Structure formats: C-alpha cells, structure tokens
Amino acid sequence: MKITVLSGGVGGARFLRGLRSHLAAADPAAEVTAVVNVGDDMWLSGVRIAPDLDSIMYTLAGENDEVRGWGRVGESERVSAELRAYGVGWPWFTLGDLDIGTHLARTSMLRDGLTLAEATDRITARWDLGVRLIPATNAEVETHVVTADGETMHFQEWWTRHRAALPATAFVHRGIENATPAPGVLEAIDDADVVLLAPSNPVVSIGPIVAIPGVRSALAAATARVVGVSPIISGAVVRGMADACLTAIGVETAADAVAVHYGSRASGGLLDAWLIDETDAALLPAIKAAGIAARAVPLWMRDPATSAALARDALAIAAAL
C-alpha cells in the first residue's frame, strides 16, 4: 500500500511516527511519503531553517526532545549565545547547536546548487526514517502574517516572538502563485492508495501545501481516498496556536468547522472523510451534512500506542469508503 501524508511539523511528526508503528505490524511493505510544509522556512543568519522537515526527521529518527516538545534531545545553545553577543539574528528564536548542524548541512547543499528536495534526501539518509520526506515545493514560499495594525512579518516572528498573540488578519504565502510542487509530490498523490491530512495547522501547515498550484487539482483527481484528522479536540487546539490562525481567516476553532473549511471532495474540496475526537461526536452530523464521511475516535496522540491506533483508524475509514 502507498500512503501519502500531507504534514506540518510536530503534530504531523507524531502522526507519522504512529503510522509507521502501525504499519510495521499491519503492512510492513507499505510505502509512506510525507509531503511536508515549507511555509515556516526562513533564512536566519545566513542559514536555511526548515522547521517542519526537521521536526519530522528528528521525531522519526528518535532524536526529538519529548520533554520540550520540539527540537533535538540533548540540545545546547552555545552558538546562539554567541550570535546574541554579536547582536545578530532574532534573539527570541532559539537555534540549538545540534539543530544548527542540520541547518548548516542543508545550507551547504543549497549553496552547492541542490534543491531543497535533493538536500532533504541527503540529510534524511543519515537515519532509517521509514518514511520518505518531500518538501511540498523547492521554492521559497515563506508564510507572512498581516496583523490587525497593518504590519507584515514572517510567520516565525509572529508565532515565536509574539506567541501568535498579535491579532492577525491574513496569512500570505509569498510567491506561492509561481511555485511548483517539488518533484515527486504530484506523483505521490496520483499513485497513493490513501492520502492522509495529518492533524497539523490547517492554515499555516496544510494550507500552504494545498495552495501550491497543482496540488489541489491533483488531490481532486486522485484515485485514492483523502482522509483528514482533526487538529481540534473539544473546541481547542491539541498543541500550538492554530486557533489564532483559524480565527484570523474566520474559521471557528471546532472540529466540524475545520472539516467544512477543507470541504468535501465531491464539492471541489479536499476531504472524503474526517476523523474527530470521541468528545466531539455530537459534531458528526454537521460534518456528514457537508458531504464528508466522519468518525469519532480517540484522537489524542499521548504515546506511540495511541498514535498508532489513530493511524489505524484513519486507514480504516479510508478502506470503508
């Protein structure tokens, strides 16, 4: 079976880890491709940062910091301290030393003329991830946030420096109209037996992926079923600050509202089916009324076992359609 997962960072990483765990027993021959958001990427102090690609890689490699919830385990910040002492960079953006190793490896490859997808292939080859990671695009389509007072800033500045607390009115994926999917992205959608939308931020993780010209039409034309997993449980985000993003684009922070935002594939949207949490079971009729199959299952990825069960449930609803 070929499974393609559209994914953001930490939530996507945990979902992919659960999927890999589930498949190890259920279908060891399955091939999983993760199409990863690059809207959070940026140049910082001359190096190329790709937070979502790295979060997924570290998590699948078992190198992520489970306690902190992001970055590398056993991290240190000696380089960052130097940068601050020189008055360089964004003092509020943490660059771990091990993480900088990844950034510099990537940057070196990009400077040598490799595409981001080629660099990602080389960088991920260090570990046996069991999942192929493809950036959604090789283009630099960074997400910027327009705030209520008319300022525009890089998503990372809004998210990390301002903790998503500045009211936002729009998210702009700069240059995305001229971007093309990275090699392998459309093929991964075309050839998939199942396409999954990870429980990632709908606005700034899944949003930028499907906004790349060609991706939405590939999803519409895919023979695979497209199943999404809600990032919202009981009217709240599981992690991160996706609620601030949803509010900015006028979508309620609710599992059914996100499904309606994605839309039914039958009506030109993205979804054949949508998984919500058991606590949100009352929302099932509203989702089904929008033309989207739905099930309520345990959605919290508390540990590898619950993450694997969630992946199993996502595949099960696809098979049942």
Q: Cβ distance 83 to 69 under 8 Å?
A: no
DSSP state letters, 248-271: HTT--SSHHHHHHHH-BGGGTSSB
Closer residue to its own copies in complex, CB, 31/75: 75
Range 251-276 burial, b when 16+ CB lie within 10 A, else e = bebbbbbbbbbbebbeeebbbbbbbb
First to last CA, the chain: 16
Q: Determine, following the binding rule CB under 8 A, whether residue 153 of this chain makes contact with its own copies.
A: no
Considering only residues 73, 81, 170, 266, which one is a binding residue for its own copies as defined by CB under 8 A? Answer: 81
Stretch that binds its own copies, among 101-109, 217-225, 228-236, 263-271 (CB under 8 A): 101-109
CB of 79 to its own copies, least distance (A): 5
Q: Determine, following the binding rule CB under 8 A, whether residue 122 of this chain makes contact with its own copies.
A: yes
Element (H, E) at 222: none
Residue 108 exposure: Cα atoms within 13 Å on the Cβ side: 8
Closer residue to its own copies in complex, CB, 106/225: 106
Considering only residues 30, 35, 47, 275, which one is a binding residue for its own copies as defined by CB under 8 A? Answer: 47
Considering only residues 1, 2, 94, 105, which one is a binding residue for its own copies as defined by CB under 8 A? Answer: 105
CB of 317 to its own copies, least distance (A): 38
Range 42-53 burial, b when 16+ CB lie within 10 A, else e = bebbebbbbbbb
Q: Determine, following the binding rule CB under 8 A, whether residue 73 of this chain makes contact with its own copies.
A: no
CB of 6 to its own copies, least distance (A): 26
Q: Cβ distance 195 to 4 under 8 Å?
A: yes
Q: Which residues bind its own copies (CB under 8 A)?
A: 43-47, 76, 78-83, 85-89, 97-98, 100-102, 104-105, 107-111, 122-123, 126
